[in-house]
Structure formats: C-alpha cells, structure tokens
Structure 1
Amino acid sequence: MLVKQCQAMLEAGRVYCQTSKSFVNGLRDLGQHCSGDKTMEECLDKFSKKLSIVLEAQGEVIETTQKSVKTKLQNFVKEDVRRFKDVRRGFERGSECLEGALVRNAQAPRGKQHEVEEASNALLNARKTFRSEALDYVLEINVIEAKKKTDILMAMLSLMEAQAQLFQHGHQSFSELEEYRQKLNEEHTQFVLNSAREKRDMEQRHAAIKKKDVSYDDSIMDFNADAANGIAMEGYLYKRASNAFKTWSRRWFSIQKNQLVYQKKFKDQPTVVVEDLRLCTVKPSSENERRFCFEVVSPSKCCLLQADSERQQQAWISAVQNSIASAFQEHREDPHSPRQRLSSVSASSLGGGGGVDQENKGCKALEEVGAIPGNKQCCDCGEPGPDWASINLGITLCITCSGIHRSLGVHFSKVRSLTLDSWEPELIKLMCELGNTVINRIYEARIDEITIKKPHPSSPRGDKESWIRSKYVEKKFIQKLPGTGNTLLRRSSGKRNRAGTQDRTIQRPPLKPKPNRATLPRVTGLSPSDLVQKNNTHKDVEEDEEDLSGLHPGALLYRSAALQNFPVMADALAHGADVNWVNVAEESSTPLIQAVSANALAACEFLLQNGANVNQADSNGRGPLHHATILGHTGLVCLFLKRGADYNARDKNQKDPITIAVDNANADIVTLLRIAKMNKEMREMDGAFGQSGDETYQDIFRDFSHMASNNPEKLNRRSADPKS
C-alpha cells in the first residue's frame, strides 16, 4: 500500500512540476509583452527566474524520492518479503509432517512390532526436520525485522534530507529578493493610492460630462491626399449588397492608392470597390428610402453607400471628388508615364496558340483597334494616344472623356479600358468595324452649321462634358430626318423605289453588301437544307446596290443588320432606331434575328451591346438562339449563351434549342447547350452565393469564341442536311 501511495505521490509531483513550469513560462512571456513598463518587466523576470530554480530543486526531490524511497521499498517487498514467505511455507510444511508422524505413531498396534518401529523412526525424522525449519523461520523473522527497520529508516532519512535541502535552497533563493520585495511592496502601496485618486478624479469628470449635451457628431472626416500612411480618408459606411436581398452591411471604408476599398474586419484583406477613382463619378442618391445615401458609379458597377449623418455624407462625396481631382492632376503632371498592358488583355481572350504567341496576338489585336481611321486620337477632344473605348459606340477615348461617358450611363455609353480590362474576341472584331471617323461622320454631321466649338485636349473638363452631352445625349449635331411612316419591309432584297424620296433633304448613300459576306434575305423558319438551296440560288443573282434611303430608323437598322453594314446600323441607332424593332411583315423578326441569318457575329455583338433583347422571339416563338441553332452557327450560339439566352425556350413546335441541335446532328452546338445547362444547375445547387461559373465551362466557351472570331471556317457544318 505504501509503495502504491508513493507512486501516486511521484506522479502528482511530476504533473505539478510540469504545470508550474508552464505557468512560469507564461510569466516570462507576459514580462516580454510588458517591455514598455520597467517595473512590471523587472518584477516578472525576477520572480519567474526564482520560481524556475525552485521547480528544478523540486524535480530533484522527486527523483531522490524515486531512488531512495520507492526503489528500496519495492526491492524489500520483491526480494526480502518473498524469501521470508518461502521460509514460512517450509516451516508450515514441516509442522504438518510432524503432526502426521505423531498421528501414525499413536495408531501403531502393540502386537505388531515392525509397524511400531517404522512409526517411531518416522516420528524422529519428522521432529528433526521440523526443529531445523523452525530455527530457519525464526532466523528469517529476525533478519527481515532488522532489514525492515534499516531500509525504511534509510529511505525516510534520504527523503527528509532532500526535503530539507529543497526548503533551504528555496528559502535562500527567496531571501535574496527580500529587499526587492519590500521595495515592490512600497511601490504597490503607492500604486493603490494613485489608482484610487485617479478613479475619484475620473468619476468627478464623468459626472460633469454627463451633465453636458453629448449628442453631437464629433467624428473627424478630413480628406488628406498626402497622408503618411497613404490613406486619404477612412471611416464606417453602410454598403448595400448586390445580391437579390439587397442587404445593408456596415464596413470600414478607406480611400487609398487612388482606390476605394473596404474591410469587414481589421485584419482582413481590403476588398476593392473602385480600382481607379479617375474612372468613377459620385453623386447623392435620393431615390433610396434610406437617408444620407450616395452612389459611386464606376465602369463595371454602381455602389450604393450610406453615411451616418448628412455631414459625413457630404464629407465622403467631397473626399471622392477630391481624390478624382488629385488623380487627374497627377496624370497631367506625368503625361508620358509608360502604359502597361495587364495580363488580362492577353491571347487568352483573342484566340490562337499558347504562350508568347497568344500574348503577341493580343497586342496585335489591340494595335488593330488603334489602326482604325481616327482611333489614334480621342473621338471627342482629339487627345493623342487614347487608351479607353466605348464598346457600344465603337470609339476610342482619352481618360477624361471616358469618365464623362461613364457618367452618362450605360444606356448611352459603355466604357472599357483598352489596357486594364479583358477583351473578348467578338468585341475586338466589333471595334474594328466602326471607329472614330465613322461615328463622327454620324454624330458630328452638322458641326459646320452650328456655333458650338469642339473641345481640344487642353479644354476644361466642363467644356468637354457639355460637348459630349450635346453630342450623344441631346444629339444636336446629327442630320435631322423628316417624318417617316412605319415602313414594313418586304421579302424582296432587290432595289426599292419609294415615293417621296426625291423630296428628302437628307439622302443616305445606297447600301452595297460588303465583299465576301452574303446579303441574305430573311430566313426565319427555314430548315438548314432549304437555307442551303436558297443561298445557292441567291449567289446566282447579281449583287445590286440597295437603296434604303426611304426607311425609317427601325426598318433601316433591320435591313442593315442583315447586310452587316455597321456605319448604317450606327446611323440608324443615332436617329433613334429601336434596337428591338419588329418587322410584322416578316413574322415579327428583329434586327438581331436578321444578323443571325447572315451569320454576322460582330453585328450581333453590336446589337447586344446596344440593348438588343437576346430572348425576343418572332411569331413562330423562335428567338436568336433558335435561329442560330437551326442554321448551325456555333459561334453565335456561344455568344448568345454567354449573353444570357434561354436555352429552355420552346417555339410553336414545342422544340427548344437542344432538341433542334440534336435533330440537326450538330455535336458542337449540343455540347455548348448541355454544358450551359449543366453549369446553371451547378450554380443553383451552390445557392444564391455560388460561384459565377465552372472553369471548364468558361474555358470551353472561350475556345469557341476565339474560333468563331479568328477561325470561323473550323465551325462550318459538314453538311446542311442533318441526315447526311
């Protein structure tokens, strides 16, 4: 029992020492954190060192107890007590043998002399053995009693000696700190008095402050563009989420490095709201029911924010405006700074091979946009080297004019950077179809007849803004059209003679189809085999110029979309053409469906960028995606799916695009449609906050886009007859 208790004591002692060492390490770490407070640092350092010394001595006591007490007691029990028990068992066996011999001797019959002699001899031997074992047993008793005393006494003496040394060593160690402890005790007393005095003073100040009005807004909201840490402005704002729930969240916003960023927590990485404040505009928002709201409008998004007060709202609006002004000032001071093209504008968005070849093709495509007539100067002010573009107008802009275009709204101009944004191949192709010269012929047709002077690169921003609004919003400089009726187009694509055209003051030049592009008539509702036959017949007809001067803007857009004449399409839109105009005479077909009929990828992109409805169906219930699927235009199918076309829409025959593609045995289009459907289902499974799309899905669509723009012959169907 004593050995077990000793073992339990040793285990508890080791646990105590280990825990105490952890505590001492904690004191040492706390002293390092209090490096600014000399008193605390010195106190914790001295005490942790002394406690470490005591713990080391206590560990030595435990080891001594292990050797002197537990080991000796275990040896005594295992060896001496075991030997004593063996001798005792021998004595007990001899006693039993003697008892048996006495019984047999008493039972020996008197008349049988030989049995009497045998019993007597056995009794003598048993008595002799018993007395010998009795002597050994008595000896072993005396030996074990003596050894027990010596072993136990020696173990206790060793234990007491170790304990005495422990306490003597501990007393000596802590005695060395006696003066320091007295000094620290005095300092502690003074600290208590000072703390009580400070507490009383703070309570008095607190009571005095509570009597005053503390409801005022004391937040400091100053804009400092030259702040040492690079943060020109910071503070809390409410941000409305862009999800379907439109929830509001309080975030820490800051203006730094010419960007507007926010953080959810202090240690989180900042989330960029506006990458370049030069590209945004800020204005108060009164449409929202919440107070103190303002909008920061950038090329890609509109961020609605809310301050805590009207004062903070004005401060943030001023800060953003000042940041924009500071950024423009820096840009003017260093006009020749190198423009770096980001990796986002790489060959991955322009098709072709890989590696360096892709990058070279990307740069070549962007240079191709700049090579279009007039694109080397800003379309509105003439500043050389523009690196921004309006993708729905097809023009290049300087950074100042791009900011003004952005403030007009995306229904007038969609601004994108030629160097900072990624460009899809169909957008590159669209930009190369128009250009500043073409658009200015339309939007500045009457510039010589008016007194307003066109701004130049050094003109004030206000003059540029007034010019741009007059040019694109009010359209003061385009040729005004006389009133025209809702002309309905006929199926014939020959020359059109309309009454009253001689009286028009404005005559559009006749349209001539572009070389190497089929001027297809309306083909809605035709099967692929009928289309091939109709196209072959059409090729045999001489391509005459077509007079479209009598058409009103909607009909003009409709016809020019089929002919892929981008200047006339832009002209029609400038004169107010409805991009979703419906030709009732041709089964309610739209300009977008006409562009599909001609397999005009860039024309479709142009119409979509200008607000064409990708899901608007004709009288047969067929939208642009249906027609592209029927005609086997894989590139257009890819484009419409990327622009949100409904692949589940059914026509009057209850056929959706997937069914049509399967019937026509077009494996490429079936693949695109099924991948788009699977990708949408995956996003719905991930919930409202799922990823924007699977990487494989995006890669496949990107490859088809590249091929449709750069190698369209690879997407030609092997046969127009789905059964062949």
Structure 2
Amino acid sequence: MRPVIEFRECLKDSPYFRASLEDAENDIELLEVRLEKLVKLCSSMIETGKAFHTASNGFVGGVRDLGQYFKDDDLASEDAKVAKSLTRFADAMTEVMKYFSMLMDQANRSVCKNINNFIKQDIRKVKEAKKYFEKISDEMDNALIKNSNALRSKPQECEDATNGLIAMSSAFAHNSLDYVYQINVLRLKKRFDVLETMLSFMNAQNTYFHQGHDLFIDLDPYVKNVRDQVEELSRKATVEKKEMEERHDLVREQTFKITKKMQSVKVTKKRWLRKRASKDFGKVADKRLSMDTIYALNDEFNDATTFFKQDTRYELASSAPFQPEDSDKKMEGYLFKRTTNAFKSWVRRWFAIQDNQLVYRKRSKDSQTIMEEDLRLCTVKPVYEIDRRFCFEVVSPARNHILQADSEHLCQKWISAIQAGVSKAYSSESNQTDEKNENYGTSGGGGNVPDNVGGNSNSNSPSTQNSKQQSKSQLRMNQLLSIPGNDRCCDCNSPDPRWASINLGITLCIECSGIHRSFGVHMSKVRSIMLDAWEPELLKVMAELGNDVVNRTYESTVDESIAPHATPDCTRGIREAWIRSKYIQKAFVSKLPGFKDNSSEKIQSWSVRKRTKRSPGRSLIKDDNLSTTQPSEKLENSSDLMKAVLSVSTATSKDNGNGHRNSEVLVFGSDVELPEVNPSKFLDLDLDSSEDSSTETEDTEDAKSTTSWEDMSKLDPNMLLYKAAQARNLPVMVEALAHGGNSNWINEEDEGKTPLMKSVETGSLAACEFLLLNGAKLDRRDQKGRTPLHHATIHGYTGQVCQFLKRGADRHAKDNEGKDAETIAIEATNADIVTLLRLARLNEEMSTDGMCDEMYNDVFRDFSNMASHNPEKLKRK
C-alpha cells in the first residue's frame, strides 16, 4: 500500500516531503497508464464484439433464408417442418445476440465510461493541483532568494522582502495542503472505483450467461423433439438407400447410353477438327499440324460447344427473360478537368453519371455542379491531339469538355460508361410519346430525337444550334443507312440501327452494340450514329464497306450447330454466343484457298483488284473489266453476287512477267460489286479520295488494274492484307483480317514495309484509317528507318500527314539518313506539310497555353475536311 503523505510535512517542505510527493506523482502516472490501457483493451473488445454481433446476425439471416428454401419440406410430420425448425433456431440465436449486445453495452458503460470519467475528472484534478503547486513553489524560492539578498543599508527593501516572504509562505502552505489533499483523496477513491467498475462488469457477465442458460432450458424440449425426428429420418434414409441398391441396373444402363453418346461426340469432334484444320491451314489435320495448332483447334471446339450447350440449357430450362445487370448503378470517380479560364489549368473533381446527367463536385464541398444536363445531346471520344495521356472529350452543342483519367483502362471505362449513359437516355426517350419529341424518321429509316430536351428554358444551347446538330446527325444517318445492308442490324437483322462499329464498318442495333462494347475496343469500336461526332475519314471507311460486304466474309459459311443465328427478339445469351462465334472465334469465315487444295489445283498465281477513285458524280458500280470468267462461274443475280469476296477468273490476255499466260489465276475482289450508294447522298464527301488517284482512269490497262501476281505458295492472311492495302481494297482487307492478318506485319521482301506504309503510297485516306482503326501502329519503321509519317511526307500526301499527326505520330523520328519529316518536307518545298509539322511543334512547345490547343485543333480540322472533300486542293508540292 502506498504511504500517506502527512500534512505536517507539507508545512516543513522537507526533503522527505518532496520524496514522498515524487513517489505519489509517479504512482499516479503509472495508474493513469494502466487505466488508459484497460480502456483501450475494453474498447477493442467492444469493437470486436460488434463485429461478431454483425457477423452473427448475418449468419442468422442466412439460416432464415435457408428456412425459406425448406418451407415445404417435412422432416417426419406436419408439426416438424424444416423451415419451422430453422426459424425457431434462428429466433433463439437472435435472442442470444440480443443478450450479447446488452453485455457489450454494459461493458461500455461500466468499464469505458467509468474509468474515462475517473481519468478525466479525478486524475485531472490532481494534475491541475500539481501545476499550481509547482508554480507557487517556484515563487516561494524566488521570495527566499530576494529576502536573502536584501541589504542592511536598505531598510525599506528588507521590509518589503520580509513581507513578501511571509505572504508567499502562507500561500505555499495552503497550496501544498490542497495538493496533498487531492493526492490522498485519489489514493482512497481509486480502490473502490476500480472494484466497483469490475464488479458491475462481472454482474453483466453473470446476467448474460444466466439469460442464455434459461433460454436453452426452455428450448431443450424442442431440440430433443427435432433430434428424434432427425434420427427417424436417418433411419428412413438408410432403408431407402438399401432399396436404391436394387436400381443400380438403371444407373448402369444410363451410363452405357452416356458413354455411347460421348463416343459419337468424339467422332464428331475429330471430323470437326479435320475440317477446321483443312479450312484454315490448307492441309489435313494429321501429324503435319503442330501440337500448338491442335490445342488451339481443340479449345475452339470446346468454346463453341460450351456456348451452344449453355444456350440450349437456357432455352429448355426456363422461359424467363434475361435479367441484365443493375442499370441504375452510376459510374463515379475522380477525373482531371481542364478549366475554361485563360490558363487552361487542370483540376481534379469527383464525377458521376446519374439521372442522364454528367455532374461533378469538389472534394471539400457537398454541392454538385451539373456539367451536362442531358446526355442525349452529348458524345464522347478519346483525345490524342494533346500531350496529356488518358484524355477523352465530352462534346455537346454548347461546348466541349476535356477530361483525363488516371489510366488507359479507366479512360476506356469512362468512355464506355458515358456511351452507355447516352444510349440509355436516348433509348428511354425514344420509347416515350411525349409531345416534346419530334420524329425525324424518313422512308429509309428514322429515329426519335428530342427537339427541346427536358423543356428547360435555361438550356445552355440555343435552339438553332440544336437544330443544326440534329440536322447533321440525321443527314449522316441517312448516308450510312443508304449503304447496302446498313438499314438493318448486321448481326440480328433488326431494322433501323442507330449504332455502328467503325473498325468493322457495320451498323448495329442497341442490343448488339452493347454486346460489341462488352468485348472491348480492341475487338469492336462502337459509336452512335446520331449522338457521336464523326470524322470524315470514318465516313469514308463506312462507305467502302457496309453490312453486306462484311457479312460476305464473317457469314460466309454459317453453321448454326456452333451458334444459333441471332434475331431481333432473341435472348441476350443467344445474341452474345452468335456475335462471339462470328467475330472472335470467326467460326463462319471461309478458308483461304490453299496451295494444294483440290479446288485450286489449276490456280498458279493470285492478285488483288485495285480500287480506283470514285467521284460523287459517277456511279459507284463498275463492271469487271479485269478478266473474263467462265460462264458457269458467273453469278446469276445481285444477291448471289454479294456472297463472295474472292473469285477465280481466267486471265486470257495477261502477262504478269513471270510467264503465267493463259492460265487460271485467283483475283481477290474481281467479281465483287461495290456498294450501291446513291452519289447524291455523298455530295460533300469524296468517297475514296486519294491524292494520286486522279492519274488513274477507268480505261487503264489490265496490268494496272491489279497488284503484281504472286505464287500460290505466298498466299497467307498477312500477304493478302499487304496486297489489299496496296490495292486500297477495303473488302479484301476485311477478308485478310478475318483470317488472322496482322496489321503491323513486316514484308521483308519489300524493304520491311507494313500494310499501313503500303496504303500510304496509294494516297487512300480510307485504307489508312481502316488500318489505324484495326491496330496499325504509327511507330513502325521500314529497313530505311522510315515511319508512315516519313512515307506520307515523301509522297507529298498532306491528308495522310494530317491524319497521322492527329493520331499522335512522332514528328521527331529520323530515318537512317538522319532526316525527320519536316526536313523532308522542306527539301520538297511542300508548304502545306511544313505548316502542319511546324504547327505540331508549336503546339508541343506551348502545350500549357490553351489558345494553342484551340488553334491547333481548328487548323487540323480544316485540313481533314479539305483532304476529304477537296483533295485536289492539297495536290501540290
């Protein structure tokens, strides 16, 4: 037991008093530390108890849910149902958790609060008394020193010192007594306070266990009854098990049937593997195939049969409609936003897509700001023209907003989320019959677009701008839907599609576009026809292709045993299986003719038909003057004519320089009709503008109408893509990519050029854009160290230079001679290209100035429009 400090010692202020006082103070410090530790441990116990209580409640809820599953299942009688028993057990556990919650509450009140009060009140009083004591002790020492320093020669000073010492001694004595009093009171109080606190907690423990004991005493008869029922059920199960042993013959019979069926599946699989190997590799699936190829074909077969089985099970098991994911969930997160002030600074804000609006807020404020009030008037696209990475732009009739994500994955996720929000807003509005909507449909297919969205008189965009934007969108839709097959969805044949896959060149309905978007932008880049902004180059690609052209490749050999064909009213599972089989697995793409195929034994060489420039003033349909085919090989009507992308023709008057005269050759794209597009609908767009194609006429010689003739041993998807790029023949390029062609393949026999470099030489914006959309890289170099930007500059193609700079081409790249694109343009005195390259350099040097970005975008937009609409104006060097 700690000693009590005598009050008389306070008046003496002896060393013994000071030592006793120091011991008491150390004892109080130790007591405070121990009590604080106990409070922390008790708080930790309570928090853990709360977590246990939450988890236990979750478990009880699971037991109740399980009881709902067994609500009609009896144990042995009507009075002992499984659901009833589980509910009774759950009620008992709920009562136990209530008792436990009361225990935790009592622990908090009796331990944490009481001891905290003891620390904050009693111990705090002692500490405050200590401060006063130390202060008065210092003043007492000073008074003693002052009294001792007083001189006899100064009586007044001596008297003042003596009076001050007397007053300070009295004050010191009173404060010392008060301090010791507080210490002694704390010493007495700490004993019964601590014991009282723990006694209260132990009483709570006693109550908790007594309540639990009483509960289970009352529950014990019911538990025994259930136990008897379970034992009876176990005996019945044993009896039934013995009875079922006599039925094993049925099981063996069923096993025999399954074994026989699996053997037939193995035979079918073997035939399928041989067929696919022959189709893709031009040889029989035997030992000549590598193990990697066999494994790949095996995985393809397993994937195809898995999708088919899943769809079949879905159709047979349930007629319930597909339940999509929760569409009410909003996309939200932090993005950098470029401000509209003079400095064009970037700020970080919390963005969210909710209620068909794009909103943001600051981190420190609760109020949110509406960036775009109606997503139906917005489009979104990635931004490559600025130095910052991971940027995308939200475009509205009133203004544009440039935002930046933290990674490429998040950037694509935000783009997809905004596109989905636009699609949701547009589709929900199109299903309403509100008088504020205006029908813009035409005989070729139309859609509902809001005229004055929301009826808000304080709209940020004037009505004239809205009308202009909608008029342009409607004109673009009419142009795209006039391409053969584009008036219906490419995958499910649904009428009036409103979406497009720009890298595939097809139009889609909203359901199929969602499937395409889920596969990622590396497989399909989806855009809205009405809501997104379209560059002229994209319209060129779409005009060169279309649903009919693309389906001739991807639906050449449809086999519905792999995946049933999607329809406008089919389920999402069927739709996804069909699209996956069509574009990812490419299960319906016909094989390339092999060198040793029986069907092509007489064919010795192949080539690709060149596509010449088509001006809007003449028909896009051109007779095939390339070769004369056998009468039996001619297609009977236009619908049959759209079924093949390649054909075999007899070259009776050609000499390719290699001695192949009067022999059968393979010409890709020779019998394929171009899309039946009404030229009047594309008056503002040169459909295949090439800055060098004006030198080619329709009456060119046959030798100039195709690429060079190649031996059949060189026919593979990569070489076919390379030759199609040289011929600027987009349908054949689709065919090559469908067979696995690599858009970045290097032709070592032609100075190490890639298909993009070869398409640059033709001057075709559409061919270049198609390759860029399908993964072609701008940083690839040929054997001379030249990039596609070098080739475009050397040939003086301003349109391609503008196209590549917009895509972020490296203008600093130098070839093996140490020349960059600007040096080559200066030597060639090409003012337009020099202007573009120097403007790009200026934009890099002044990237922090927003005005430079605006000027850069405006100039490049003008050059893009000129290259698309009036390419002859750029044909100067």
TM-score by length of 1: 0.50
Q: Structure 2: how far apart are the matches of 1:217 and 1:691?
A: 57
Contact 2:489 2:495 in 1 (8 A): yes
In the alignment, the residues of structure 2 paired with residue 513 and residue 629 of structure 1 have an alpha-carbon distance, to the nearest angstrom, of 33
Letter in 2 for 1:478: V
* Mapped contact 2:499–2:508 kept (Cα < 8 A): yes
Q: Which AA in structure 2 matches 1:339?
A: V
Give the counterpart of 1:339 among 449, 458, 476: 449
* 1:430 paired residue number: 541
1:256 and 2:366 matched: no
Structure 2 residue 505 is matched with structure 1 residue 394: yes
| Counterparts in 2 of 1:362 and 1:326: CA distance versus 1, 3 Å | closer
In structure 1, what residue type is equivalent to 2:366?
F
Distance 1:517 1:329 in 2: 35
Pairwise CA distance, 1:627: 1.1
Q: Distance in 2 between matches of 1:332 and 1:475?
A: 35
**TM-aligned CA distance change 1:253 to 1:612, over 3 Å:** closer
SS at match of 1:679: helix
Distance 1:371 1:545, change over 3 A: same
Alignment match, 2:557:
446
Specify the structure having the higher radius of gyration (Cα): 1
Whole-angstrom CA distance in 2 between matches of 1:210 and 1:324: 51
The answer to whether 1:564 aligns with 2:664 is: no
Rounded to whole Å, the distance in 2 between the matches of 1:323 and 1:654 is 48
Candidates 768, 782, 785, aligned match of 1:604: 768
In structure 1, the partner of 2:873 is: 714
Q: Aligned Cα RMSD in Å?
A: 5.5
Instruction: State the match for 1:49 in structure 2.
Output: none
> In the aligned structure 2, how far is the partner of 1:366 from the partner of 1:324?
16
Cα deviations by residue, 1:476-522 (Å, 9 ceiling, x for unpaired) = 1111336679x9999999749899xx999x985548999999999xx
Residue pairs, 1:188-203, within 5 angstroms: none
* Cross-structure match for 1:552: 716
1:254-284: CA deviation from partner (whole Å, max 9, x where unpaired): 66214575533322415679958x999xxxx
Per-residue displacement from partner, 1:439-458 (whole Å, max 9, x unpaired)? 11100101167563311111
Give the Cα–Cα distance (whole angstroms) in 2 for the partners of residues 475 and 402 of structure 1.
Answer: 18
2-structure distance, mates of 1:698, 1:322:
27
Question: Contact (CA 8 Å) 1:629, 1:660: kept in 2 or not?
Answer: yes
Paired with 2:605 and 2:748, the residues of 1 have a C-alpha distance of 7
Give SS of 1:267's match.
coil
Partner of 2:864: 705
Structure 1 position 561, deviation (Å)? 0.8
Describe how 1:409-420 pairs up with structure 2 within 5 A. Answer: 409-420=520-531
Q: Cα offset for 1:435? A: 0.3
C-alpha distance in 1 between matches for 2:737 and 2:411:
23
- SS state at 1:302 partner: helix
Asked whether the equivalents of residues 387 and 419 of structure 1 are also in contact (C-alpha less than 8 Å), the reply is: yes
Q: Secondary structure at the match of 1:367?
A: helix
Show the counterpart of 1:641.
805
Shift of 1:324: 9.6
> Structure 1: where are the runs of 5+ without partners?
1-206, 219-230, 244-248, 281-294, 306-316, 344-353, 521-527, 719-724
Following the alignment from structure 1 to structure 2, what is the Cα–Cα distance between the partners of residues 217 and 269? 41
Distance 1:357 1:560 in 2: 38
Inter-partner Cα distance in structure 2 for 1:535 and 1:268 = 60
Residue of structure 2 equivalent to 1:370: 481
Alignment partner, residue 595 of structure 1: 759
Gaps of 5+ in 2: 1-41, 55-326, 339-346, 381-405, 440-446, 454-464, 597-603, 611-654, 676-685
1:622–1:253 Cα change, 3 Å: closer
Q: Percent identity?
A: 42
Whether contact under 8 Å (2:485, 2:547) holds in the other structure is yes
Give the partner amino acid of 1:257: D
Equivalent residue, structure 1, for 2:367:
267
- Residue 404 and residue 631 in structure 1: after superposition, are their counterparts in 2 closer, same or farther (change >3 A)? same
8 Å CA contact 1:366, 1:418 repeated in 2: yes
Q: Supply the AA of the counterpart residue of 1:609.
A: L
Counterpart contact for 1:519–1:562, Cα < 8 Å: no
Contact 2:353 2:421 in 1 (8 A): no
- Matched with 1:695 is 854
Asked whether the equivalents of residues 563 and 574 of structure 2 are also in contact (C-alpha less than 8 Å), the reply is no
Q: Does 1:407 align with 2:518?
A: yes
Flag the 1:446–1:261 CA change in 2: closer, same or farther, 3 A: farther
Give the alignment partner of residue 676 of structure 1, picking from 831, 837, 840: 840
> 1:267 and 1:701 mapped to 2: Cα distance?
39
Q: CA 1:385–1:260 in 2, change beyond 3 Å: closer, same or farther?
A: same
Cα deviations across residues 558-614 of structure 1 (Å, max 9, x unaligned)? Answer: 111111111000100011000011111110111111111110011000000001011
Give the SS at the match of 1:466: helix
Task: Provide the C-alpha distance between the structure 2 equivalents of 1:400 and 1:517, rounded to a whole number of angstroms.
Answer: 30
Query: What amino acid maps onto 1:391 in structure 2?
Result: I
- Aligned letter for 1:704? F
Mark the CA change 1:672 to 1:325 in structure 2 (over 3 Å): closer, same or farther. Answer: closer
Report the secondary structure of 2:448's partner residue: coil
Deviation, structure 1 residue 634 = 0.7
Q: How many angstroms apart in 1 are the aligned matches of 2:357 and 2:657?
A: 56
- Residues 657 and 267 (structure 1 numbering): CA distance in 2 closer, same or farther, change over 3 Å? same
- Amino acid corresponding to residue 470 of structure 1 in structure 2: S
Instruction: Verify the 8 A CA contact 1:425 1:709 in the aligned structure 2.
Output: yes
Aligned partner of residue 449 in structure 2, secondary structure: coil
Shift of 1:251: 7.6
- Residue 398 of structure 1 deviates from its aligned partner by 0.9
- Choose which of 392, 396, 412 in structure 2 pairs with 1:301: 412
1:686-714 alpha-carbon deviations (Å, 9 max, x no partner): 2xxx7596111111100000010011111
Q: Does 1:582 align with 2:774?
A: no
- Partner letter of residue 866 of structure 2? M
Q: How does 1:471-486 map to 2 (within 5 A)?
A: 471-481=582-592
- Say whether the 8 Å CA contact 2:334–2:348 is kept in structure 1: yes
Shift, 1:411, TM fit: 1.1
SS of the residue aligned with 2:793? helix
Structure 1 contact 378–386 (Cα < 8 Å) conserved: yes
The alpha-carbon distance between structure 1 residues 377 and 626, as it changes in their structure 2 partners (threshold 3 A), is: same
The equivalent residue for 2:164 is none
Cα shift at 1:214: 4.8
Q: Contact (CA 8 Å) 2:502, 2:524: kept in 1 or not? A: yes
Look up the equivalent residue of 2:506 and give its one-letter code.
I
CA offsets 1:357-401 (integer angstroms, 9 cap, x no match) = 998666434421111000011111111111111010000111111
Question: Residue 556 of structure 1 contacts residue 572 of structure 1 at CA under 8 Å; is this kept in 2?
Answer: yes
Give deviations 1:505-563, integer Å, cap 9, x for gaps.
x985548999999999xxxxxxx9xx99x999x96775355567932111111111111
Report the Cα distance in structure 2 between the residues aligned to 1:584 and 1:404, rounded to whole angstroms. Answer: 38
Contact 2:476 2:529 in 1 (8 A): no
The 3-state SS of whatever aligns with 2:500 is strand
In structure 1, C-alpha distance between the alignment counterparts of 2:851 and 2:53, rounded to whole Å: 42
Give the C-alpha shift of residue 621 in structure 1: 1.0
Amino acid corresponding to residue 659 of structure 1 in structure 2: T
Contact map agreement 1:514 1:563 (CA 8 A) in 2: no
Task: From 784, 794, 802, give the equivalent of 1:620.
Answer: 784
